[in-house]
Amino acid sequence: MFAYLKKCEPPSDDKRWKIIAASMRKLGNERHALIETLHSLQQTFGYLDKSGLTYVAASLKIPLSQVYGAATFYNHFTMKPQGKHACIVCTGTACHIKGAPELLKLIAALEGIRPGETTPDGEMSLLTARCFGACGLAPVVVMDGNVLGRVTTEILQHRLREAVPSAR
C-alpha cells in the first residue's frame, strides 16, 4: 500500500528535474506546493505528463489521483505536448463581440485545428484564453508570448504565415 510514496527519485537524469525539486523545496515539500509545482513543471517541460505527475505526487506525499485531479481542474495546465508555436486567441467578452469567433474560424480553415489542438506536424498549437485584460485592444491574440491587439483576419493570416512558413 502507498508503495509509490517511497519512490522520490526523478523519472530520469534530465537536469531539468532539479528545477522541479527546487520549487517544491522552496515551499517545504508541503502539499500546498502542488499548484506552484505544476506551474513549474509545465513551464519547464511544456506540458504535464504521467512521469512528472507521479514524481510530484511522491515528493509531496499526495495521492496521484489528487494530483491528477488538480492538473485537470485548472484550464492553464495541459497534458498534451504543445506545438512549436503557440497561438492563443482571447475569448473574453470584449474580444467576443469584436470578432474573436471569426479569428478562430480563420485558424480552423487555414490550419485545420480547433482550440486545444495542435497541427499534425507539431508546428502550431491553438489555445484560447478567458481574458488577457487587454480589452481596450480587442480582439487580442497572443502569438508566442507577444500580445497582438486589434487583430483583423488579415493581420492574423499574415502572422500565421510568418510563424509557420509552410502554412497556406
Partner 1 sequence: MLAEELKAVAAEERSIRDSTTARVNVCGAAGCQSLESGALKTALMEATATQGYGPESCAIRSVGCLGLCGAGPLVSVEPSGVLYQRVQVSDAPDIIAALNGRPVERIHLPSTMPFFARQKRIVLENSGRIDPERLEDYIAADGYLALTTALSEMTPAEIISAVHKSGLRGRGGAGYPTGLKWSTVAKAAGSPKTVICNADEGDPGAFMDRSVLESDPHRVLEGMAIAALAVGASEGYIYVRAEYPLAVARLKTAIRQAERQGLLGNNICGSHFNFRVHLRLGAGAFVCGEETALIASVEGKRGTPRPRPPYPAESGLWGLPTLINNVETYANIAPILRNGGDWFSAIGTDHSKGTKVFALAGAIRNAGLIEVPMGITLRDIVFEIGGGIPDGRAFKAVQTGGPSGGCIPEAFLDTPVDYETLTKLGSIMGSGGMIVMDETSSMVDVARYFMEFCMTESCGKCIPCRAGTAQMHQLLGRFANRNATRADLALLESLCDLVRNTSLCGLGQSAPNPVTSTLRYFRPEYEAAFAGEGGE
Residues interacting with partner 1, by CB under 8 A?
Answer: 30-36, 38-39, 62, 66, 69-70, 73-77, 91-94, 96-98, 129-138, 140, 146-149
- Which C-beta is closer to partner 1: that of 108 or that of 134? 134
**Least spacing, CB of residue 143 vs partner 1, in Å:** 11
**Cβ contacts of residue 92 below 8 Å, gap of 6+?**
100, 129, 130, 131, 132, 135, 138, 140
Residue with cell 499526495: 62
Count other Cβ atoms within 10 Å, centred on residue 72: 12
- Which C-beta is closer to partner 1: that of 103 or that of 140? 140
Residues forming a β-bridge with 143: 87, 146
- Which C-beta is closer to partner 1: that of 86 or that of 148? 148
**Least spacing, CB of residue 25 vs partner 1, in Å:** 15
- Which C-beta is closer to partner 1: that of 36 or that of 121? 36
**Least spacing, CB of residue 97 vs partner 1, in Å:** 6
Question: How far is residue 155 CA from its own chain's centroid?
Answer: 24
- Which C-beta is closer to partner 1: that of 91 or that of 125? 91
**Least spacing, CB of residue 166 vs partner 1, in Å:** 27
Residue 69 in 3-state DSSP? helix
Specify whether the CB–CB gap between 100 and 91 falls below 8 A: yes
**Cβ contacts of residue 143 below 8 Å, gap of 6+?**
85, 86, 87, 88, 159, 163
Q: Write down how long the chain is.
A: 168
**Least spacing, CB of residue 117 vs partner 1, in Å:** 16
**Cell numbers given for 37:** 509545482
